[in-house]
Structure formats: C-alpha cells, structure tokens
Amino acid sequence: MLRNISFVLFVSVFLSSCITNNDLSIINTKGTEPLETFQFDYQLKAGDLLSIQISSLTPMEYDFFNKESGSNSQLYVQNPYLYGYLLDNSGSLKLPVLGSFELEGKTLSEAKNIIQLQAERYFSEPSVKVNILNYYVTVLGEVNTPGRVNVIEPNTNLLEVLGLAGDLTKLANRKKIKIIRTESEKPQVYYVDLRDKNIVNSELFYLQPNDIIYVQPTMKRFVVIDNLPAAISTVISAFTLFYLIQPN
C-alpha cells in the first residue's frame, strides 16, 4: 500500500513538473494574424555617449573634426570614451569648432540634421552620422549566454536582445520576464509576458540603455518535458511496468 501511494505521489510530481510546448512558445497567435506594433524612436538623454562622423569633400588637412577618431581605430574600439562625445547633465553636446547643441529629447535622426546644418558652415557637402556608443543592457537568469549586451541599433527589441543572449533556456518562465529600468532616480520594475501577442505593441518591447532583463525560472524545475503526449506515454509505460512487477 505504501509503495502504491509513493508511486502515485511520484507520478503527480512528474506531471506537475512537465513543461509543455505551449509554455515554450512566444507571441501566441492563431494562424496568420496581423500584429499592432509600437512606434518607437529612441530619444537622446543626458549621459549618452555619441559617435559623430562627418564625411565631406573638404581636404583632409582642413578636416579638423575627424582627425582624432581616425588616429587609432583599435583604441577607439577598446575605449570609445576617448573619442566619443557625451551629452552633459543639461542634455547639451559640445563639439570642437561646431559648438554646442541642445540634443536631449531629440531622436538620432533629428540630432543628425541639427549637426549637419551647422557642419555645412565649415565643410563642403558634409554627410553626418550619429550613433550611440554606450547603449548597453544586461541579461541575467534563464538564458544561454547571460551578460552585458552592446546594442548597436537603438530600435532593437526585447526578443532580439534575448537572441543576442543565446536565447531562453527550457526552464525560462516566458510568462514573466522582469525588466529593471533606471531611467529615473528610483529604478522601476516591469513584467512582460512573451506569450502575449500584444507585447509587440508595448513600450516595454523596446529597451532603454542600462536596462536589466532578468529571466526567471519556472517553478516546475523537477523535470522538463518538451512534449506533453510523450510525457503521458512515459507515465502510462511506468504504470504498466509497475503493476507487472507487483507480486500476486
């Protein structure tokens, strides 16, 4: 009798620990279904480190702006703060010769146009490129490659960042992804359900610099089963074997 009870308890725990294909899915939809998307365009803020590149027809000997960034490309990669330009606490960007620009709250495209307008006073047919150098997020928990991720494109979304972190593990709780955001004096904590198709229409689908993404484990950690029918088949086989070996 005791063995029977123990076996039933074991099977109960086994079944309760199964993770189905539905648990492993993201953005659940029914067939082909259009999704509403959130229109996101990152706005610059104090502390952003910008790469400013200006190409022009101006002879190199008069190109006073780009000499430093071209002097040592390896050093530039290792320590971008040596050549990048930082938005100060007031949201201003100071560039050599070109002057000061109020860029807080501007998009990268708007910042490019503002700087290019000023650059036309000094360069022949200038072309300006503006990128963020210190756009980092940290991914922790149930991912295959946790750590800090350098975001090249500010419009990179949560799924893309998780992909850069090696994808979620099978133990990841896709229903409750934690995002810790430090955009104000007090960090804010948000939760995202990756299975919800409406997530792509949420502001949280796009990340901010210094965001921390923590992927919690599901509570069902006893065993991971990818396929529920396979789990049921295994349990039935176990039941059959158990009763076959029972003494008459």
228-240 per-position pLDDT tens digit: 565 566 666 666 6
**In CATH, what number is assigned to the domain containing residue 77?**
3.30.1950.10
Query: What pLDDT score was predicted for residue 2?
Result: 46
Q: Are residues 36 and 8 in the same domain?
A: no
- Report the range out of 33-37, 133-137, 143-147, 182-186 with the highest average pLDDT: 143-147
CATH number of the domain to which 140 belongs:
3.10.560.10
- As a whole-number percent, the residues of the chain with pLDDT over 90 amount to 41
Of the listed ranges 16-30, 74-88, 90-104, 200-214, the least confidently predicted one is 16-30
77 and 26 in a common domain:
no
Helices (H), 102-220: 108-119, 158-164
pLDDT digits (tens, 9 = 90+) for 175-202: 999 999 987 678 899 999 999 888 888 8
Asked if 138 contacts 147 with a C-beta cutoff of 8 angstroms, the reply is yes
Q: 137: which 2 tokens?
A: 């997020």
Tell me if 235 sits within 8 A of 15, measured CB to CB.
Answer: yes
- 154 and 33 in a common domain: yes
Report the b/e string of 40-71 with b at 16+ CB within 10 A.
eebbbeeebbbebebebebeeeeeebbeebee
The parent domain of residue 7 ranges over 2-18+223-244
- In this prediction the pTM is 0.71
Domain count, the chain: 3
CB 149 within 8 A of CB 164: yes
Is residue 121 predicted with pLDDT exceeding 60?
Answer: yes
Give me the chain's average pLDDT, please.
79
pLDDT, residue 155, reads 87
Same domain, 113 and 62: yes
Residue 178 and residue 197 share a domain: yes
Q: Are residues 191 and 205 in the same domain?
A: yes
Report CA-CA distances (Å) from 71 to 87, 89, 97, 135, 233. Answer: 23, 29, 19, 24, 66
